[in-house]
């Protein structure tokens, strides 16, 4: 009977540690989601071009009972900030579409922002060459999204209002 109590205690302890690790600020690690993003909070800059040297950032959403954070691509185009997902049918993209208030962690700094999905094809034409160059090493002067073949989505990120 004692071994059952010890096993139950160990199981609960492991669950508690995992819960704290994931939702208590461990943050996302590569493809594994995380919880609360910690860091120094700053006002958003006017020009996001410093993110050109950053491969991925962390995004925290607020919909649901627990925070959910992931790593994703980041692009600046003419000083504006965009984040992207190669598959728009993800937990975090749905959460952003339900509630645009997000937190970003870039180089350890937290920014309180809003993200809105872009459907304007002219914005896609501005972002596509940046995505191709930054993440695929393909340098082009112009590019367009192919209608009907788009699984990914792009969000324009702006300061909260």
Instruction: Report the distance separating Cα 60 and Cα 67, nearest Å.
Output: 7
- pLDDT the model gives residue 14: 62
Q: CA triplet 69, 31, 104: central angle to 5 degrees?
A: 30
Residue 148 pLDDT greater than 80, yes or no: no
How many other C-beta atoms lie within 10 A of the C-beta of residue 56?
15
Instruction: Report the distance separating Cα 28 and Cα 103, nearest Å.
Output: 13
Instruction: Report the distance separating Cα 24 and Cα 37, nearest Å.
Output: 9
Q: Which helix (H) or strand (E) segment is 152 a member of?
A: none
Q: Give the model confidence (pLDDT) of 104-121 as tens digits.
A: 999 999 999 999 999 888
- Residue 137: pLDDT band with limits 50, 70, 90: confident
Cα dihedral sign for 22, 25, 29, 32? Answer: positive
More confident residue, 38 or 145: 38
Q: Give the model confidence (pLDDT) of 22-77 as tens digits.
A: 555 567 877 788 889 999 999 999 999 999 999 999 999 987 778 889 999 999 99
Residue 92 pLDDT greater than 60, yes or no: yes
Give the C-alpha distances (Å, rounded to integers) separating 65 from 10, 23, 48, 94, 143.
26, 11, 31, 15, 40
Residue 13 pLDDT greater than 80, yes or no: no
Distance of CA 161 to the CA centre of its chain: 20
The domain defined by 2-159 carries CATH number 1.10.630.10? no
- Enter the DSSP assignment of 32: B
């Amino acid at each position: 009977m004692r071994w059952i109590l010890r096993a139950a205690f160990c199981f609960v302890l492991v669950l508690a540690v995992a819960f704290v690790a994931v939702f208590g600020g461990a943050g996302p690690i590569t493809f594994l989601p995380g919880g609360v993003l910690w860091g120094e909070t700053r006002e958003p800059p006017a020009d996001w071009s410093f993110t050109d040297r950053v491969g991925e950032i962390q995004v925290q959403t607020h919909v649901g009972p627990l925070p959910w954070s992931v790593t994703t691509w980041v692009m600046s185009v003419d000083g504006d900030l965009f984040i992207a997902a190669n598959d728009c049918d993800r937990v975090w993209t749905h959460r952003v579409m339900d509630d645009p208030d997000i937190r970003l962690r870039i180089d350890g700094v937290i920014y309180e922002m809003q993200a809105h999905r872009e459907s304007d094809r002219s914005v896609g034409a501005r972002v596509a060459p940046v995505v191709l160059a930054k993440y695929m090493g393909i340098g082009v002067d112009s590019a367009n999204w192919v209608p009907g073949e788009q699984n990914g989505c792009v969000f324009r990120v702006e300061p909260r209002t």
